[in-house]
Each structure stands twice: as C-alpha cells, then as structure tokens.
Amino acid sequence: MEFIDLKAQYQVGRDNINARIQAVLDHGQYIMGPEVEELEARLAAFTGARHCITVASGTEALLISLMALGIGPGDDVITTPFSFIATAEAIVLLGATPVFVDIDPATCNIDPTLIEARITERTRAIMPVSLYGQPADMEAINAIAWRHKLTVIEDAAQSFGATYGGKRSCNLSAIGCTSFFPSKPLGCYGDGGAIFTSDDQLASAMREIRVHGQSRRYVHTRIGVGGRMDTLQCAIVLAKLDYFEWELSERARAAASYDALLSGKIGMVARPRDRSSVFAQYTVVVEQREQVRAALQAAGIPTAVHYPVPMHMQPAYARWSDARSAPVANAMAARVLSLPMGPYLDDASIARICAVLLGAAGAAPASCPKD
Ligand SMILES: *Cc1c(COP(=O)(O)O)cnc(C)c1O
C-alpha cells in the first residue's frame, strides 16, 4: 500500500501527460514557454482570482509574496506554529519576525481569537495555513486584518481546490500561495507553485520579482529571485487539471469512507460546514500514537506525522519563540497521525486500515444502539 499513490495517478492521465510533455520538447521553449501563460489563465479562472503567477515552488510563492509586500527586518508576520517549516522559513529569510499564534485544537488551524492580542505596530501581515487541505477560518482572519490594515497571505500549499463560503482556496484573501510538489492535491513532477491575487500592482511586482526584479530585459527595478516554474512542469499540471475535479470527488469519496468507519470511535480533525477540504491529508488524533503507528506499520500500512515538531520548537527557530507559546500545537504534534489518502485509495483498503487502526487504538467495537 502507498501513502499517496502517484503511479496510479500517472496511469490515468498518461496519454495526456505524455502528449503535453512531448509538445514542450518539440517547441523547445523550456523557460516561460506558452504553457506557462496557459496554466496561469486556467488556474486563475479555477480559483476566481484575477491573477495567477506560477513560481518555482510553494516556498518561493510565500517568499515572493512577502517580498512584493516589502516585508523585511523590523516587521512581524503572524502565523501558525503548526505547519511545514517553509511557512516560517519564508518570513525569517527576509529578516522579518514570525509571531506564532496557537492553533484551534479542533481544526489544527490558527485560532483567530488569539490573533488580535499579538498585533503590534510592527505587524504587517497574517499568514494562516490551510492545513491538511482545509481552509483556515479566513473570514475571521480577514476581518481582523481589515481592522488593523494588515495583508492576509493564505498558505494554501495543501488546499488547492478546497472551498470556504463557496469560494476557492487561494482566492480567500489578498494573496494565496500554493504548491505543486508531487504529493500535493494538484502536483507536478518536480517543483512548482503559484501565487494568486486580484491586486494588479501586487501581481506585477510578483511577476518582476520572479525574474530577478526585472521590469525590462536587464533593467532591474527591484531585488528579485530566480523563481520561475519551468514550462515542462506547467505542461504537466495542465494535463492533470483535466481530471482534477474528478480526483477531488474521489478524495471526498475516500474521506467519506474513512468517516463512516471512524467517526465517534477515534479523534478526528473537525471540519466546519462552511468549508470543504481536499484532504491533502486524512488525519486522526490518537493517544499512544507511536504504538498505533507501529501496529499499522506491521500490517504494511504506511502513515505519516504532520508535524511531529511544531515550527516554534525547531532548533533553528528557538530565538523567535519559547516552548510555552503554543501549548495546543505542542499537544497536537504528539497526537496527530495521517493515514494513506488520495483519489486512488479504494474502499477495501480503507476498511483494512480502519480495522487495524481501531484495534490498535483500543477503540470499543462498533456497538448496536437499541434506540
Ligand atoms: C508543501 C508546503 C509548502 C512548501 O511547498 P514546496 O512546493 O515544497 O516549496 C509550504 N507550506 C505548506 C503548508 C506546505 O505543505
């Protein structure tokens, strides 16, 4: 069993993907070829944002977004401690200070009720993460940002395709950033990412920063980076977009199958009704995680932990935080366990995973209520 089955995914799109790759090899425009603009137009339309700027990775998307806002030394950026390290990394790389606001234990996303107390005159932006594929509480976060004139950057690296209040993730705030890392819900076959915004000025700044701050050839009006997504990777995402909606429905099917077998029997990440997840991960909450993990491993079932050490507890980030600053994140980091997930995970496999999981977690067998 695979944790995420990328080979099955390739087989479904194989002819289309191969043809798209061949087309790039034939025209030879490997950097900023026609597929780059084609993909940007398709993705912008998909999310509803006015602009899409493809970039080299999800990390680069976060970095370029912060650069476009002019964030640097002396600036604070509020974020969650419970994410992949790239979120905080982009902030500190620019010399800004990450301010880690604890998470809601139900959803594992940043707790909006704790944000305002951490805003100071140094605060410039809020960077929530839509963890496990489920949007953070963006309406509450946007309202806080509006009151304090801050910019909200959604780290939507795991949530491309998810919705919140009927709108797509990546178009829920001033800026949205996603990743096309192969195992993300919409992945390429290498590194890639994209930034979304409906602000024309920010978009043109981001486009310049992506190519070394160049406004015209060899005229550098800003400090930029080498941050382009290459044409081949864009071509692959274009091919995969053709069956992405179907994949999303299969992800929802797999999650519903898990739900049916697990709800009420094991701790789960809450999923409020006003949003939908794309299940980048299907994550449960268990005590004695390492024993449960070992039992699954012994049954040939791969699992993962997202994330075992919150960012504020990482050695390199110690100076920006202390161990007491996010107790909920610390508690969840010891308990979360991600199960195999993806559009190609069949219901028989899910049934087997759940049987082993419930056995190992010591859950009571399914009861037959008499009422
Ligand atoms: C994957 C991920 C990133 C980084 O994306 P890359 O494309 O690997 O650089 C950033 N933030 C989160 C939450 C992620 O899951």
> Using one digit for the tens of pLDDT, what is the confidence trace for 13-23?
999 999 999 99
Band of the pLDDT at 371, cuts 50, 70, 90? very low
Whether residue 282 has a cis bond before it, omega within 30° of 0: no
Residue whose CA is at the smallest distance from ligand 1 atom 7: 58
Let me know if domain 6-101+108-241 sits in CATH 3.40.640.10: yes
State the pLDDT at residue 363.
Answer: 52
Secondary structure E strands in the chain? 51-55, 76-79, 97-100, 123-127, 151-155, 163-164, 167-168, 175-179, 193-197, 214-216, 219-220, 267-268, 275-276, 282-285, 336-339
State the pLDDT at residue 318.
Answer: 87
For strands 151-155 and 175-179, give the pairing.
Answer: parallel
Q: % helix / strand / coil in the chain, to the nearest 5? A: 40, 15, 40
Mean model confidence pLDDT for the chain? 95
CA proximity to 110, closest of 312, 314, 353: 312
Residue whose CA is at the smallest distance from ligand 1 atom 5: 58
Q: Domain 244-361 belongs to what topology?
A: Aspartate Aminotransferase, domain 1 (3.90.1150)
How far does the centroid of ligand 1 lie from the alpha carbon of residue 86, in Å?
Answer: 6
268-282: pLDDT as tens digits: 999 999 999 999 999
Band of the pLDDT at 241, cuts 50, 70, 90? very high
Average pLDDT of the residues in 338-366: 89
Band of the pLDDT at 368, cuts 50, 70, 90? very low
pLDDT greater than 90 at residue 212: yes
Atom of ligand 1 nearest to the CA of 192: 7
- Neighbouring CB atoms inside 10 A of 256's CB total 12
Average pLDDT of the residues in 155-177: 98
State the pLDDT at residue 370.
Answer: 34
State the pLDDT at residue 19.
Answer: 98
Atom of ligand 1 nearest to the CA of 57: 7
State the pLDDT at residue 323.
Answer: 66
The amino acid present at 76, given as its one-letter code, is: D
For ligand 1, pick from 131, 155, 180 the residue to mutate: most ligand atoms within 8 Å of CB.
155
State the pLDDT at residue 322.
Answer: 72
Q: Where are the domains of the chain?
A: 6-101+108-241, 244-361
Say which residue, 370 or 2, is predicted with more confidence: 2
Only one residue has tokens 């997840």, namely 277
